[in-house]
Amino acid sequence: MSSQSVFPSDAVSLVESHLREVPDFPAPGVLFRDITPLIADPQAFKVLIETIAERYRGQVDAVAGLESRGFILGAPLAIEMGVGMLTVRKGGRLPGPVVGVDYDLEYGSARMELQPFTVADGQRVLVIDDVLATGGTANAAFELIERAGGVPTRLCVLIELRELGGRERLAGREVDAVLTY
Ligand SMILES: O=P(O)(O)OC[C@H]1O[C@H](OP(=O)(O)OP(=O)(O)O)[C@H](O)[C@@H]1O
Ligand SMILES: Nc1ncnc2[nH]cnc12
């Protein structure tokens, strides 16, 4: 783990101590960072959400969660900050009208969609997810929010996997990670 988190060291330790590292999931060679122990611990989950909310309170008008683990973090965060929740979903799951973007992952491709009518013009949006890997998913979310008329101010993730280059793919975007590997 590297240091330099923009979050307090207590929050970094909290995430680190509640993570499961699962080798070869969902495919051989992938070390999967599993946040389920963290969200299953009511005290840890509450403190984490409060800590993240503290950093962005008053600076954003909405939270956009990225399907599906970003929803788990985004919904309580939106309530804690008193703003609305936007859902950036995998292709084909939202009733239209939607804006969509196709993008490449490490292996294969994917599509994310957003209902533009959920985004107010000029609305400042915090994008939230559990993991930043190649950055394809987050990059798609930034593009969709902009196409819908919003202003994606930054990405917040619990875990950044540095060697997968997400930060470079998101060049010019603000990225905050609680924990970086
Ligand atoms: O930076 P990237 O290379 O785009 O990868 C990061 C994305 O991958 C994971 O989601 P996944 O697609 O596994 O979906 P899930 O949350 O529904 O499991 C993770 O929750 C991020 O959304
Ligand atoms: N190694 C990983 N662990 C958890 N989620 C991921 N999403 C992309 N890569 C991941």
> CB within 8 A of 103, min separation 6: which ones?
109, 110, 111, 112, 136, 137, 139, 140
Residue 155 lies in a domain: yes
Quote the number of domains for the chain: 1
Residue-number span of the structural domain to which 98 is assigned? 59-180
Instruction: List the residue whose alpha carbon is closest to atom 2 of ligand 2.
Output: 32
Which CATH number do you get for residue 137? 3.40.50.2020
* 38, 48 Cβ separation under 8 angstroms: yes
Q: What number is the average pLDDT over the span 137-162?
A: 98
Whether cis (ω within 30° of 0) applies to the bond prior to 68 is yes
Q: What is the dihedral of CA 68, 116, 56, 89, to 10 degrees?
A: 10
User: Which of 15, 19, 30 should be mutated for ligand 2, with most atoms under 8 A from CB?
Assistant: 30
Please give the distance of CA 8 from its chain centroid, rounded to a whole number. Answer: 19
What separation, in Å, do the N-terminal and C-terminal C-alpha atoms of the chain show?
5
Q: Which residues contact 143 (CB under 8 A, 6 or more apart)?
A: 101
130 in Cβ contact with 158 (< 8 Å):
yes
79 in a structural domain: yes
111 lies in a domain? yes
What's the confidence (pLDDT) of residue 107? 67
Q: Is there a domain that residue 21 lies in?
A: no
User: Is residue 89 included in any domain, yes or no?
Assistant: yes
Condensed to tens digits (0 to 9), the pLDDT of residues 92-117 reads: 999 999 999 999 886 678 999 999 99
What sign does the dihedral 20-142-51-117 (CA atoms) show?
A: negative
CA of 32 from ligand 2 middle (Å) equals 5
Q: Which residue has the tokens 């280059």?
A: 165
The per-residue pLDDT for 4 is 83
Whether 133 is covered by a domain: the verdict is: yes
Ligand 2 pocket member 154 (CB < 6 A)? no
Q: Where does the pLDDT of residue 125 fall: very low under 50, low under 70, confident under 90, or very high at 90 and above?
A: very high
Pairing mode, strands 62-66 and 20-23 = unpaired
CA–CA distance, 116 with 16 (Å, rounded to integer)? 36
Distance separating alpha carbons of residues 163 and 176, to the nearest angstrom = 16
Tell me whether strands 84-90 and 109-114 are parallel, antiparallel or unpaired. Answer: antiparallel
Q: Is the pTM of this model over 0.90?
A: yes
Q: Is residue 120 assigned to a domain?
A: yes
Looking at residue 2, its pLDDT comes to 53
Task: Provide the sign of the torsion angle of the four alpha carbons 55, 144, 129, 175, taken in this order.
Answer: negative
pLDDT of residue 1 exceeding 90, the answer is no
- Do the interacting molecules here have an ipTM over 0.95? yes
Ligand that lies nearest to the alpha carbon of residue 134, given by its number in the listed order: 1
Please give all residues whose beta carbon lies within 6 A of any atom in ligand 1, as ranges. Answer: 66-69, 105, 129-138, 166
CA of 28 to the centre of ligand 1 (A): 17
* Ligand 1 center to 102 CA (angstroms): 14
Whether 105 is in a domain gets the answer yes
How far is ligand 2, taken at its centre, from the CA of residue 121, in Å? 32
Q: Which atom of ligand 2 is nearest to the CA of 161?
A: 1
Residue 43: what residue type?
Q
